[in-house]
Amino acid sequence: MLTSFFGKSNPINYLILSVFIVFGYLLGLFSESKIDLSSTSLFRHFLFIALSVFSMLLFDFIIRKNHLTKTNTFAILFFSCFMVMLPVVFLNHEILLANLFNLLALRRIMSLRSDTNSEKKILDSSFWITVASLYYFWSLLFMVPLYIGLIQKPNINYKQMLIPFVGFFAVVVLNTTYQLLINDSFAWFFSWRDDISLDFSNYNSASILVPVTVLLAFYIWAGISRIVKIASIPSKSKPNYLLLFYVSLVSIGVALLGPEKTGAEVLFIMAPLAIIAANYIENFGAKGFVKEDVIEYRFKETLLWMVVLLPFVFMFL
């Protein structure tokens, strides 16, 4: 049973999901019409395979550090399967990098409630968000959840509200210095902002449209369940519960505002969606649940199997 296997946190789970991500990357790579097998290209692919696996492990660290799910690996299972459903995400290295830096920022944003080292957390998160924007400009929208997290945290003061600007300008100054040294120009600043495109013609491909539709269905189903349960969430957990929902909405905005719709931009939505889906699944983890509600248990077990098997089905689209 997948619910029992991934309902625990065992090293074998991480190994299986890491291999699954490597499989997804190779699937995306071989879907290209031309494959460059030069030593430089192979090293680059090896590096991004490692970064893809690291993103999954970082995502798991964020979840555990901030208690966003119970002690299980449902969230990283969803995250890994969502990525492999859309192998095109592995072909856009800039989006992979931007998503990694956004995860580093999310790690700090979600921990603001602890009210320790707040200034450092705020600076770090704004720094990483701005670095992410160098690869995908609309990542700057993640400043919105940062400020929501600031408003929610205890003992907020006006100085802390100004710290994100310090992180922002620090990256701008550093990158300008780099561009002047390497290219003897700061023209990058004028081409930094990406245009907004609403051309979804690439989504006409079944290999993109079907997985995106499945992810959207997951978001609607699990999102509604999350909203319904807000009233029953303990006051201590409610801020992060709501903050994650805001992060998911901003992630959709980041994906929609991208300059080119290839399907890879859906990667930004996968992390918050994976947590929301995991929260929905893990509710039956208590002992004896099967006897109390066999139908719901079987439904969620089927849902997990569907998530695991769909990437293999989509290989033939």
Secondary structure class of 307 (helix, strand, coil): helix
Per-residue pLDDT of the chain in tens (317 residues, 90 and over written 9):
787 888 888 899 999 999 999 999 998 888 766 777 788 889 999 999 999 999 999 999 999 998 888 889 999 999 999 999 999 999 899 999 999 999 999 999 998 887 788 899 999 999 999 999 999 999 999 999 999 999 988 788 888 999 999 999 999 999 999 999 988 888 888 889 888 888 888 898 888 999 999 999 989 988 888 888 887 777 777 888 889 999 999 999 999 998 889 999 999 999 999 999 998 888 654 444 444 567 777 777 888 899 999 988 887 76
Quick one: tokens of 140?
């700057």
242 CB contacts (<8 Å, ≥6 apart)?
152, 230
What stretches of the chain adopt beta strand conformation (E)? none
Res 317: pLDDT = 67
Q: How many CB atoms lie within 10 A of CB 109?
A: 30
pLDDT at 233: 79
Sequence-distant (6+) residues with CB within 8 A of 259 are: 137, 194, 195, 196, 197
Q: Give the separation between CA 131 and CA 175, rounded to whole angstroms.
A: 9
- Tell me the residue type at 41: S
Residue 261, Cα to own-chain centre: how many angstroms? 17
Give the tokens for residue 212. 């995106």
Contact of 103 with 59, CB cutoff 8 Å: yes
Task: Give the integer Cα–Cα distance in Å for 84 and 90.
Answer: 9
Nearest alpha-carbon partner for 258 in 29, 80, 47, 92:
92
